[in-house]
């Protein structure tokens, strides 16, 4: 129980970053929760639930900024990807998933640090679908389904409001589908986790609200640099502890 309570604090901290950037919650929460000793399956379910809850309001509030065709392609691709992840998760030992999660977090941080090209260009339909497939697989196995669409849209220089709105729509659909898949497969932890889940939800919502306020007081470049550094450090710490 103490570990789960500590996990609530980790999620609250991560949600502050997620609220300010639109995507950083799972990237930060995953290595922190793993470092304090939480099981990978518990971390995945907690991040998926938190992402689903916090992004619903964002998707509704920013629906006018959303590129619905892009979101549909990403979500359509995420469905087969999530199914593949659900089929493989029971065959992957937790001792393997933890270093994979750490390496994935580090690579995402490094890739985010690479400046996008000067000329923007809308990704092809195929690229969006493939991105959704990779994101769906990562969502179910490690809860890190955000980086693929983030990288896709960052390289295309998608406007900030559309960027946040599209990610919100993607997370709502993909996280909900992933939670259903995991529930059907019996991979959702029971008992103690469910008792603490409301605390995780409250922590995520409060952290998200604080993050939005922080974003208004910090320059975009400074905050983005801090997020990238924290992502890389968190991933490295997870690899070292595995």
Helices 125-142, 160-184: crossing angle, 10 deg rounding: 50
- In whole angstroms, give the CA distance from residue 39 to residue 98: 9
pLDDT digits (tens, 9 = 90+) for 167-189: 999 999 999 999 999 888 876 76
pLDDT digits (tens, 9 = 90+) for 57-78: 889 988 999 999 999 999 999 9
Nearest residue to 36 via CA among 69, 11, 68, 17: 11
- In whole angstroms, give the CA distance from residue 214 to residue 21: 10
Average pLDDT over the chain, rounded to an integer:
83
Nearest residue to 105 via CA among 43, 55, 59: 43
The residue extents of the domains of the chain are: 2-241
Q: Which residue has the higher pLDDT, 82 or 138?
A: 82
pLDDT digits (tens, 9 = 90+) for 111-163: 778 776 655 678 899 999 999 999 999 899 888 888 889 888 877 878 878 88
User: DSSP secondary structure string, 135-165?
Assistant: HHHHHHHHS--SHHHHHHHHHTT--HHHHHH
- In whole angstroms, give the CA distance from residue 73 to residue 209: 29
| pTM to 2 decimal places | 0.83
For the record, the structure tokens of 185 come out as 């497969």
């Amino acid at each position: 129980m103490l570990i789960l309570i500590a996990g609530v604090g980790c999620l609250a901290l991560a949600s502050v970053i997620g609220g300010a950037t639109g995507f950083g919650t799972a990237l930060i929460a995953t290595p922190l929760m793993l470092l304090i000793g939480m099981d990978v399956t518990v971390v995945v379910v907690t991040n998926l639930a938190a992402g689903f809850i916090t992004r619903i309001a964002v998707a509704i509030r920013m629906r006018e900024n959303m590129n619905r065709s892009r979101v549909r392609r990403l979500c359509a691709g995420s469905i087969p990807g999530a199914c593949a992840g659900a089929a493989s998760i029971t065959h992957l030992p937790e001792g393997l998933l933890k270093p994979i999660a750490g390496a994935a977090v580090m690579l995402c941080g490094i890739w985010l640090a690479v400046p996008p090209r000067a000329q923007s260009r809308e990704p092809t339909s195929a690229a969006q679908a493939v991105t959704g497939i990779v994101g769906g697989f990562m969502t179910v196995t490690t809860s890190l389904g955000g980086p693929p669409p983030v990288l896709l849209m960052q390289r295309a220089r998608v406007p900030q409001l559309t960027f946040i709105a599209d990610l919100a729509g993607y997370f709502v659909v993909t996280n909900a589908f992933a939670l259903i898949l995991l529930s059907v497969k019996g991979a959702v932890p029971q008992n103690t986790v469910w008792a603490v889940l409301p605390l995780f939800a409250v922590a995520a919502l409060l952290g998200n609200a604080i993050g939005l306020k922080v974003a208004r007081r910090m320059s975009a470049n400074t905050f983005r640099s801090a997020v990238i550094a924290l992502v890389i450090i968190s991933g490295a710490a997870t690899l070292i502890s595995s």
